[in-house]
């Protein structure tokens, strides 16, 4: 395949080498991460392998630790394709490779560990940003394009690659950029994706308008956000019919003029309420619509699609998420929707628990320990909801604990954009405080996490409190 044909030319040689090895294999074990990006990575890779006639099996891992890699080696597969993880565990993987147990092929976007392997497709190896320009699903897509055969060029798989990128929040500045933008262009050319400059609210396909306005944005608009009655009266004041046949309409039900009316009304309200200009700007972004999916369903909007996948992943049902990605629109989709409803109920019950129990205040932060009452896979989301609610003090970050296992505690921390502007960097706090007590952590300035030994909570808190105090 000519280098110029690759959607990401800098990665073309690596993709070609990986594709050649996969084509030469009798059968392949495909191992992927359990989250929206990992699920879409697996779906992209599995579809491309199937189309190329390569026999394979798919397995998922929450974490690719030594035990998981041992288990993969024990399957006896001679070729193992890792997607959305593998780079960070390259040191352990390379040992199995050196022992002749299997040949790894890696399509990932995480920071590589200090070891080498030949078949390694990772944007960071070519100076492309793995946090904002290419996801695991994007790397898998670049590989899929190199695997293309006589029956098609796999460009239709760009749809899933974009779901993965958005699932990893690579569109956080309102649109996809860099290598991701090249994948979007492929999807548009292939007729599977439509892009539009749109109001950047979550739930454009499925949420009734008042709910869309009440919950959808991380931009807080006084009298509308987190205010059901306010959102309804805001709609009533606009010159559009917010209801039809007695039912609330959704964003997707509005015509272009009605959308314009609603968007301008919201901007005017934001300006009048003193929302800062940079926050108002982030009310607008690029929407990615999957045109082959039914309008008004979660799958039509990449952001809602990725949430649905995350709901399956958080409850260990990667099989369901993968089946949805591979096209099951009956049983798997129904089960995914059930998991999403359960997820939302767990979130609201979790937030209610935090509100009832309250938080404990330290000098520079506030915290709660949910023990086993809140699943460790959702405690971070609940901490984020708590910091947007009147239950907590907005002038301090929130740290949440939940049991991860009998000897490990999961830590999640959330701040606000206002605190980040004043110097808060929770990524550094989580990393340094967890390492001080024999754990590990990291993440982003506004949201980060860690895992620590279960009896080190108080020592961790003291160190985190000190670190936040230095930052603010």
Give the nearer residue to Mn ion in terms of CB position, either 157 or 467: 157
For residue 136, state whether it binds Mn ion (rule: CB under 5 A). Answer: yes
Phi, psi of 450 (to 5 degrees): -160, 165
The dihedral through the CA atoms of 340, 346, 350, 352 has a sign that is positive
Smaller CB separation from Mn ion, 182 or 419: 182
Helices (H), 190-273: 209-215, 228-236, 256-272
Residues 6+ apart with CB under 8 A from 323: 331, 332
Residue 197 Cβ vs Mn ion, minimum distance, rounded to whole Å: 26
Give me the helices (H) in 301-365, please.
302-314, 318-325, 331-357
Q: Which one of the spans 162-170, 280-288, 320-328, 415-423 is the region binding Mn ion (CB under 5 A)?
A: 162-170
Nearer to Mn ion, 144 or 242 (CB): 144
Site residues for Mn ion, 236-295, by CB under 5 A, read: none
Q: Which residue, 135 or 303, has its beta carbon nearer to Mn ion?
A: 135
DSSP state of 152: B
Sign of CA dihedral 248, 229, 203, 313: negative
User: Of 301-330, which residues contact Mn ion (CB under 5 A)?
Assistant: none
Site for Mn ion in 68-87 (CB under 5 A): 84
Nearer to Mn ion, 135 or 289 (CB): 135
CB 143 within 8 A of CB 160: no
Decide: is 456 part of the binding site for Mn ion (CB under 5 A): no
CB 136 to Mn ion: min, Å: 4
Residues 6+ apart with CB under 8 A from 199: 251, 259, 262, 263, 266, 283, 284
Q: Which of 12, 25, 37, 391 binds Mn ion (CB under 5 A)?
A: 37
Q: Cβ of residue 220: shortest distance to Mn ion, in angstroms?
A: 28
Helix axes of 302-314 and 158-167: crossing angle, nearest 10 degrees: 70
Q: Is 293 helix (H, G, I), strand (E, B) or coil?
A: coil
Spatial distance between the Cα atoms of 371 and 220, rounded to a whole number of angstroms? 31
Residue 168 interacting with Mn ion (CB under 5 A): yes
Contact criterion met (CB below 8 Å) for 423 and 471? yes
Residue with the shortest CB distance to Mn ion: 37
Of the pair 37, 186, the CB lying nearest Mn ion is at 37
Q: For 171, list phi and psi in degrees, rounded to 5.
A: -105, 25
CB of 340 to Mn ion, least distance (A): 20
Nearer to Mn ion, 111 or 360 (CB): 111
Strand order in the sheet with 27-33: 55-61, 27-33, 79-83, 103-107, 120-121
Q: Which stretch binds Mn ion (CB under 5 A): 133-141, 149-157, 264-272, 361-369?
A: 133-141
Rounded least distance, CB 409 to Mn ion, Å:
24
Of 80 and 166, CB closest to Mn ion: 166
- DSSP 8-class letter at 27: E
Q: Is the C-alpha dihedral spanning 223, 228, 230, 236 positive or negative?
A: positive
Tell me whether residue 136 or residue 380 sits nearer to Mn ion (CB atom): 136
- The nearest distance, CB 138 to Mn ion, in angstroms, is 9
Structure tokens given for 426? 């929770």
Residue 205 C-beta: closest distance to Mn ion, Å: 23
Binding segment (CB under 5 A) for Mn ion, from list 161-169, 365-373, 412-420, 461-469: 161-169
Q: Is 108 in the site for Mn ion (CB under 5 A)?
A: no
Residue 135 beta carbon to Mn ion: minimum distance, rounded to whole angstroms: 5
Smallest distance from Mn ion to CB 163, Å? 12
Query: Which residue from 276, 26, 47 is spatially nearest to 160, judged by alpha carbons?
Result: 47
Residue 198 is a binding residue for Mn ion (CB under 5 A): no
- Residues, the chain, total? 472
Using CA atoms, how far residue 395 sits from 85, 388, 425, 430, 472, in Å, is 36, 11, 14, 18, 10
Would you say 106 or 275 has its CB closer to Mn ion? Answer: 106
- Least distance from C-beta 62 to Mn ion, angstroms? 13
Residues 28 and 106: beta-carbon distance below 8 Å: no
# binding residues, Mn ion (CB under 5 A): 5
Q: How far is the CB of 85 from Mn ion (least distance, A)?
A: 8
Indicate the residue among 41 and 434 with the shorter CB distance to Mn ion. 41
| C-beta closer to Mn ion: residue 84 or 298 | 84
Considering the complex, what minimum distance in angstroms separates the CB of residue 229 from Mn ion? 39
> How many Å from the N-terminal Cα to the C-terminal Cα in the chain?
53
The yes or no reply on residue 465 touching Mn ion (CB under 5 A) is: no
Enumerate binding residues for Mn ion (CB under 5 A).
Answer: 37, 84, 135-136, 168
């Amino acid at each position: 395949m000519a280098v110029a044909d690759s959607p990401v030319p800098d990665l073309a040689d690596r993709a070609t080498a990986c594709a050649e090895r996969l084509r030469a294999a009798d059968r392949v074990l495909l191992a992927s991460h359990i989250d929206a990006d990992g699920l879409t990575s697996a779906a992209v890779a599995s579809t491309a392998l199937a189309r190329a006639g390569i026999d394979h099996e798919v397995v998922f891992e929450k974490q690719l630790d030594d035990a998981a890699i041992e288990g993969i080696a024990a399957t006896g597969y001679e070729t193992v394709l890792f997607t959305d993880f593998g780079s960070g565990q390259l040191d352990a993987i390379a040992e199995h490779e050196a022992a002749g147990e299997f040949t790894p092929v890696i399509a990932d976007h995480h920071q590589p560990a200090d070891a080498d392997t030949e078949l390694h497709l990772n944007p960071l190896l070519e100076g492309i940003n793995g946090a904002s320009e290419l996801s695991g699903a994007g790397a898998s897509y670049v590989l899929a394009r190199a695997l293309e055969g006589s029956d098609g060029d796999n460009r239709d798989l760009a749809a899933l690659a974009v779901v993965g990128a958005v699932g990893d929040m690579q569109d956080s500045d309102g649109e996809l950029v860099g290598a991701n933008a090249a994948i979007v262009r492929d999807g548009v050319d292939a007729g599977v994706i439509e892009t539009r400059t749109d109001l950047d609210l979550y739930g454009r396909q499925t949420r009734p308008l008042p709910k869309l306005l009440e919950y959808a944005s991380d931009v807080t608009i006084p009298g509308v956000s987190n205010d059901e009655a306010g959102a309804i009266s805001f709609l009533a004041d606009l010159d559009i019919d917010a209801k039809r046949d007695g039912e609330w309409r959704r964003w997707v039900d509005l015509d272009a003029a009605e959308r314009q009316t609603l968007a301008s009304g919201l901007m005017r309200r934001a300006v009048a309420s003193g929302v800062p200009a940079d926050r108002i700007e982030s009310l607008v972004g690029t929407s990615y619509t999957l045109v082959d999916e039914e309008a008004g369903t979660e799958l039509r909007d990449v952001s809602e699609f990725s949430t649905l996948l995350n709901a399956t992943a958080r409850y260990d049902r990667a099989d369901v998420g993968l089946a949805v990605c591979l096209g099951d629109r009956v049983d798997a989709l129904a089960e995914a929707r059930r998991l999403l409803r359960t997820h939302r109920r767990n979130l609201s019950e979790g937030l209610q628990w935090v509100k009832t129990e309250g938080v404990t205040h330290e000098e520079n932060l506030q915290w709660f320990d949910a023990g086993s009452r809140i699943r460790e896979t959702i405690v971070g989301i609940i901490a984020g909801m708590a910091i947007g609610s009147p239950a907590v003090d907005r002038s301090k970050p929130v740290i949440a604990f939940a049991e991860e296992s009998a000897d490990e505690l999961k830590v999640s921390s959330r701040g606000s954009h206002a605190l980040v502007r004043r110097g808060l960097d929770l990524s550094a706090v989580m990393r340094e405080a967890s390492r001080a007590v024999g754990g590990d952590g990291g993440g982003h300035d506004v949201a980060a996490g860690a895992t620590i030994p279960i009896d080190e909570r108080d020592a961790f808190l003291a160190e985190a409190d000190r670190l936040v105090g230095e930052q603010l």
